[in-house]
């Protein structure tokens, strides 16, 4: 994938990184610009407000060798608006993906069968139409992929996935504290 | 007070006394406020030169350099200067005007997305959105620029914000929770580094640009341990070139001794450097037997290219003294014997039996100044010759574009350096190609009567490109010939009111150089030199540091015949 990080060793693995950033104009372009400039490919990316006002948490899925990912983490950490970078493949963490998928319904038999499969997957119906059903699927990527495979024969009209979002499992983390590091103007 | 006046007040509070810049529509309120400000403004003739001058002002003084430019084309002209400063970790703050807030995003006259454009070439940048934010943003910009690994910061201020009434305070708090540079080295890592160094039989210290702030600490470490010292292009002056333990510059055009020392050493202490490709050559052949101790304030540089066995994140001013304390004199007699043999076998040499060559001109400059001056360079063959024959012995006196390799840097850099170190002679070593990339700055030099000697090594060619075409492109000299359309440089200097000389022979050169240095005023000397001179030794791009080509410097049909010397 990338020549960067020659110091890396071991094989290419997928990593889920979460990055806590300040809500500042252009912060996402700083991050995506860094990925582009240093030749990393983002497989998925999601961004939203975190538990602390003024801070957002972004999750990335990215593949690379250990050294490459370490280098990326250090480069992210250098961005002034980045507060924290966590690699969820390093410790216990939970991750989920949300998918919305619209499946074609051509016959009443199909409708029954689709609903049955959805039930097995614990997919929720969030919109019902005469010719289509929209499902919400939450879980790991494997579950989304399996559901897509099952729905293919009926006809997938549209789908969207958030990409993985992740949190560490530990409950001992302190609440994010932005004020303690404020320093006096030089 | 309006926003523009607040900008200048905030700069004053940062200790700024001088700004390099060029006005234009969107920054006119700032220039209007400048009329009443104690801050001195140096009017450059191209914004790029303002950026280079501000960059060099920092490099020469350690004080953050500041430049101003207007929106759109003014700001885009800064880009090369910002990129140069970013690559070489130079602390500067650029302030640009932008179109009024309401017009941003409308493709207004002289509008450009300046924060977007400069994002990858600055350490950080700001678009000011509220007039009362100005003092905080300026304070943060200076804090970011000068702390940790230094770098350029740009502050873009829409014109309407410059004109709004300022109602805020200058007693501001910096609010940067995501920015906490590690300055103090980790005690355990320093101990591990000391143990590795003490155990080494054949260690070397490699000092980069980070050493410019820590010359005393580098010297103390070198003296206490007796370790051989290599200085990179950016590290020249951080350890005196003439000192007994100096091995010279490493890398593509480094000395034989420095490159062999790297190949044969069993430990490198890399201090404030980033193992750039011009230094390492092919990574797999770089220091194959060495334990790498890498000390740098930027953790992202550690193991980026060369894997560090003992990483130490911190400022050299903190780490080196603590390391020195843990170490005594190293037993390096055998190693020194080997190094001295190489050093004696390959002294700096070149032939002077044919026409005037750049190398002897540069050597004459070195002898005339006794190295007691500031040297700035453009980029190309003359730069490499100067690094080898005219390295300075004090920190912050060697000013050259290393990482970006910016032609057009040297002349405006001489302006910045001259204002940073008033009274000192500045020698700008240039080529006939690069000098023309910011030649308009002769006007600025004339206006301020700066004691700058501009030495053009004029071979009528883009010499470094010509050398590569000769060696690697089968002598297909594509678009490197300048001689047929170069100006008469002496006349050009005179047109700007600057004393100019064209010199064709070594006797005149030997006479005119000391005279020019003694004058303490601007003098341009155009040395017409041999066109096929080449820089040797050379490591071809992509080759290993042990695959150095040691050509002779003979200006005759023998050039290009390079002798490959094994190690």
CB B416 within 8 A of CB B53: yes
Q: What's the pLDDT score for residue B531?
A: 93
Closest CA to A95 of A149, A27, A39, A163: A163
Interface test mutation site (partner A, options B101, B171, B177, max chain A beta carbons within 10 A) = B177
The average confidence (pLDDT) of chain B is: 95
CB contact under 8 A, B116 and A182: no
| Predicted confidence (pLDDT) at residue A181 exceeds the cutoff of 50 | no
Q: Of B82-91, B172-181, B488-497, give the lowest mean pLDDT range.
A: B172-181
CB B50 within 8 A of CB B67: yes
Q: What's the pLDDT score for residue A11?
A: 85
Please give the residue of chain B at the shortest CA–CA distance from A19: B178
pLDDT, mean of residues B373-390 = 97
- Indicate the pairing of strand A132-139 with strand A93-104: antiparallel
Q: What's the pLDDT score for residue A186?
A: 30
CB B41 within 8 A of CB B17: no
In angstroms, rounded to a whole number, what is the distance separating the alpha carbons of residues A162 and A141?
Answer: 10
CB B95 within 8 A of CB B162: no
Domains of chain A in sequence order: 13-90 (3.30.70.260), 94-166 (3.30.70.1150)
Q: What's the pLDDT score for residue A10?
A: 62
Residue partners of B527: CB distance under 8 A and separation at least 6: B356, B358, B361, B455, B456, B457, B458, B503, B509
Q: Of A2-16, B115-129, B276-290, give the lowest mean pLDDT range.
A: A2-16
ipTM (interface pTM):
0.88
pLDDT digits (tens, 9 = 90+) for B299-326: 999 999 999 999 999 999 999 999 999 9
Residue partners of B533: CB distance under 8 A and separation at least 6: B357, B358, B359, B381, B459, B463, B553, B555
Residue of B142, B283, B300 with shortest CB distance to A6: B283
pLDDT, mean of residues B166-178 = 95
| Predicted confidence (pLDDT) at residue A7 exceeds the cutoff of 60 | no
CB contact under 8 A, A182 and B175: yes
Please give the residue of chain B at the shortest CA–CA distance from A27: B119
Closest CA to B414 of B435, B387, B433, B394: B435
Residues facing residue B94 across a β-bridge? B67, B154
Size of interface A-B (CB pairs under 8 A): 76
CB A135 within 8 A of CB A126: yes
pLDDT digits (tens, 9 = 90+) for B2-32: 999 999 999 999 999 999 999 999 999 999 9
CB B59 within 8 A of CB B145: no
With residue B524 as reference, give the H or E element that holds it. strand B523-528
B298 chain-A contacts, CB cut-off 8 A: 78
Start-end of H helices in B62-179: 73-76, 79-87, 114-118, 134-146, 159-163
Q: What's the pLDDT score for residue B154?
A: 98
Closest CA to B390 of B513, B496, B498, B299: B513
| Predicted confidence (pLDDT) at residue A177 exceeds the cutoff of 90 | no
Burial B471-481 (b: 16+ CB within 10 A, else e): beeeeeeeebe
pLDDT, mean of residues B438-442 = 98
CB B212 within 8 A of CB B60: no
**What one-character DSSP code corresponds to residue B68?**
E
Confidence category of residue B564, pLDDT binned at 50, 70, 90? very low
CB contact under 8 A, A186 and B304: no
Q: Model-level pTM greater than 0.90?
A: yes
In angstroms, rounded to a whole number, what is the distance separating the alpha carbons of residues B413 and B485?
Answer: 26
Q: What's the pLDDT score for residue A36?
A: 87
| Predicted confidence (pLDDT) at residue B567 exceeds the cutoff of 80 | no
CB B10 within 8 A of CB B171: no
Q: What's the pLDDT score for residue A166?
A: 86
Domains of chain B in sequence order: 3-163 (3.40.50.970), 187-345 (3.40.50.1220), 358-536 (3.40.50.970)
Positions of B marked active-site: 47, 109-110, 159, 464
Q: What's the pLDDT score for residue A149?
A: 95
| Predicted confidence (pLDDT) at residue A4 exceeds the cutoff of 50 | no
In angstroms, rounded to a whole number, what is the distance separating the alpha carbons of residues A129 and A108?
Answer: 12
Closest CA to B264 of B195, B200, B345, B324: B200
| Distance, first Cα to last Cα, chain A | 43
pLDDT digits (tens, 9 = 90+) for A52-104: 999 999 998 999 888 889 999 999 999 999 999 999 887 788 889 999 999 99
Closest CA to B190 of B221, B227, B211, B216: B221
CB A134 within 8 A of CB A102: yes
Q: What's the pLDDT score for residue B354?
A: 77
Most confident of A2-6, B349-353, B431-435: B431-435
Query: Cα-flanking dihedrals φ and ψ of residue B455, to 5°?
Result: -110, 110
């Amino acid at each position: 994938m990338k020549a960067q990080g020659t110091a890396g060793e071991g094989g290419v693995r997928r990593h889920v990184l979460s990055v806590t950033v300040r809500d500042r104009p252009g912060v996402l372009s700083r991050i995506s610009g860094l990925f582009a400039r240093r030749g990393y490919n983002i497989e998925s990316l999601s961004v939203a407000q975190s538990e602390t006002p003024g801070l957002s948490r972004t999750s990335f899925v990215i593949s690379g060798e250990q050294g490459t990912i370490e280098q990326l983490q250090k480069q992210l950490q250098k961005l002034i608006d980045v507060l924290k970078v966590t690699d969820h493949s390093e410790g216990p963490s939970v991750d989920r993906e949300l998918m919305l998928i619209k499946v074609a319904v051509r016959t009443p038999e199909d409708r029954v069968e689709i609903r049955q499969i959805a039930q097995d997957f614990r997919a929720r119906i969030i919109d019902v139409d005469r010719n289509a059903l929209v499902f919400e699927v939450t879980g790991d990527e494997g579950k989304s992929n399996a559901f897509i495979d099952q729905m293919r024969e009926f006809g997938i009209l549209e789908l969207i996935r958030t990409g993985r979002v992740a949190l560490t499992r530990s409950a001992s983390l302190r609440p994010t504290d932005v004020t303690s590091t404020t320093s006096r103007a030089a | 007070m309006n926003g523009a006046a607040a900008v200048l007040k905030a700069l004053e509070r940062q200790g700024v006394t001088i700004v390099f810049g060029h006005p234009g529509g969107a920054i006119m309120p700032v220039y209007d406020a400048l009329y009443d400000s104690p801050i001195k403004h140096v009017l450059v003739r191209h914004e790029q030169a303002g950026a280079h001058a501000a960059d060099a002002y920092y490099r020469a003084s350690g004080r953050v350099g500041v430049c101003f430019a207007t929106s759109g084309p003014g700001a885009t002209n800064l880009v090369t200067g910002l990129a140069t400063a970013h690559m070489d970790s130079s602390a500067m703050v650029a302030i640009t005007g932008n179109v009024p807030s309401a017009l941003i995003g409308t493709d207004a006259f002289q509008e450009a997305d300046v924060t977007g454009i400069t994002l990858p070439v600055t350490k950080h940048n700001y678009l000011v959105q509220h007039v009362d934010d100005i003092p905080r943003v300026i304070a943060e910009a200076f804090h970011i620029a000068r702390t940790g690994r230094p770098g350029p910061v740009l502050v873009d201020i829409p014109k309407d914000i410059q004109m709004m009434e300022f109602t805020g305070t200058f007693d501001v708090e910096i609010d940067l929770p995501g920015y906490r540079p590690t300055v103090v080295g980790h005690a355990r890592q320093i101990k591990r580094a000391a143990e590795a160094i003490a155990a080494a039989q054949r260690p070397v210290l490699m000092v980069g640009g980070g050493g410019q702030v820590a010359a005393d600490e580098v010297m103390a470490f070198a003296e206490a341990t007796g370790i051989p010292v290599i200085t990179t292009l950016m590290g020249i002056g951080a350890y005196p070139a003439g000192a007994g333990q100096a091995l010279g510059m490493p890398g593509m055009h480094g000395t034989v001794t420095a490159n062999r020392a790297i190949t044969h050493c069993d430990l490198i202490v890399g201090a404030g450097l980033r193992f750039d490709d011009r230094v390492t050559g092919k990574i797999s052949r770089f220091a194959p037997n060495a334990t790498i101790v890498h000390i740098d304030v930027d953790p992202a540089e550690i193991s980026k290219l060369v894997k560090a066995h003992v990483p130490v994140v911190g400022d050299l001013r903190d780490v080196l003294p603590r390391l020195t304390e843990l170490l005594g004199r190293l037993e390096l007699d055998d190693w020194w014997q080997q190094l001295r043999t190489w050093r004696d076998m390959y002294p700096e040499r070149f032939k002077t039996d044919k026409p005037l060559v750049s190398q002897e001109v540069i050597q004459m400059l070195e002898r005339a100044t006794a190295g007691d001056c500031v040297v700035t360079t453009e980029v190309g063959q003359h730069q490499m010759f100067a690094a080898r024959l005219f390295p300075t012995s004090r920190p912050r006196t060697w000013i050259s574009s290393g990482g970006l390799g910016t032609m057009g840097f040297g002349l405006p850099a001489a302006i910045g350096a001259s204002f940073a170190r008033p009274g000192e002679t500045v020698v700008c070593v240039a080529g006939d190609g690069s000098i023309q990339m910011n030649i308009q700055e002769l006007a600025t030099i004339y206006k301020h009567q700066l004691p700058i000697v501009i030495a053009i090594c004029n071979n009528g060619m883009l010499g470094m490109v010509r050398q590569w075409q000769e060696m690697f492109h089968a002598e297909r000299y594509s678009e490197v010939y300048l001689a047929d359309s170069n100006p008469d440089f002496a006349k050009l200097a005179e047109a700007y009111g600057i004393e100019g000389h064209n010199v064709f022979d070594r006797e005149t050169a030997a006479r005119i150089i000391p005279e020019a240095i003694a004058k303490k005023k601007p003098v341009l000397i155009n040395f017409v030199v041999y066109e096929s001179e080449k820089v040797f030794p050379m490591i071809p791009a992509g080759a290993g540091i042990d695959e150095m080509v040691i050509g002779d410097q003979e200006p005759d049909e023998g050039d290009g015949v390079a002798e490959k010397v094994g190690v």
